Amino acid sequence: MVFKRTLDKLTEEKGILGCLLVDCEGLVVSESLGSGRKDPEEVAALAGMLTNFLEHWFGEMDGSPFDQCVLSTDSSSMAIRKVGCLYLVVFLKGSGLSGYMANIVTISEAVATIAMMLQRTCG
């Protein structure tokens, strides 16, 4: 419920279509995708698969942990940010980087909020 409020607030932002929080195994922790949009389970599974791949590659490439990525499609874009042991997946309007750049501060604020909540919950 604590995460849900932050996700709902992020989804209310102009240019953001929805978001969800997933764990490293691709399971939904909390979501705010709106009704009739994407299937949270499918999105979480994709995010889990992708982040596993990227974590592995980042480790091999320069030893650094995966932090964030932005994916662009022909119709929209999707940002994935690591928050503690979880991943925040945000769907944005417009392809390319413009949607992400326009909302980078808002997304970073949400990441900071979730990180703080995680710290308080998990210690």
Residues that bind other proteins (CB under 8 A): 5-6, 9, 38-39, 42-43, 46, 49-50, 53-54, 57-58, 61-64, 67-76, 78, 91, 95-98, 101-102, 104-106, 109, 112-113, 116
Which residues partner with 81 through β-bridges? 68, 88
The distance of closest approach from Cβ of residue 7 to other proteins in the complex, given in angstroms and rounded to an integer, is 13
* Closer of 23 and 55 to other proteins (Cβ): 55
* Closer of 23 and 98 to other proteins (Cβ): 98
| Residue 64: CA count within 13 A, CB half-sphere | 5
Angle 101-105-107 (CA atoms, 0-180°, nearest 5)?
Answer: 90
Q: How many CB atoms lie within 10 A of CB 51?
A: 23
The pairing of beta strand 28-32 with beta strand 86-93: unpaired
* Closer of 23 and 58 to other proteins (Cβ): 58
The distance of closest approach from Cβ of residue 123 to other proteins in the complex, given in angstroms and rounded to an integer, is 15
* Closer of 29 and 117 to other proteins (Cβ): 117
Query: Contact at 8 Å (CB) between 122 and 101?
Result: no
The distance of closest approach from Cβ of residue 98 to other proteins in the complex, given in angstroms and rounded to an integer, is 7
Query: Which residues, 6+ apart, have CB-to-CB distance to 64 below 8 Å?
Result: 58
The distance of closest approach from Cβ of residue 37 to other proteins in the complex, given in angstroms and rounded to an integer, is 8
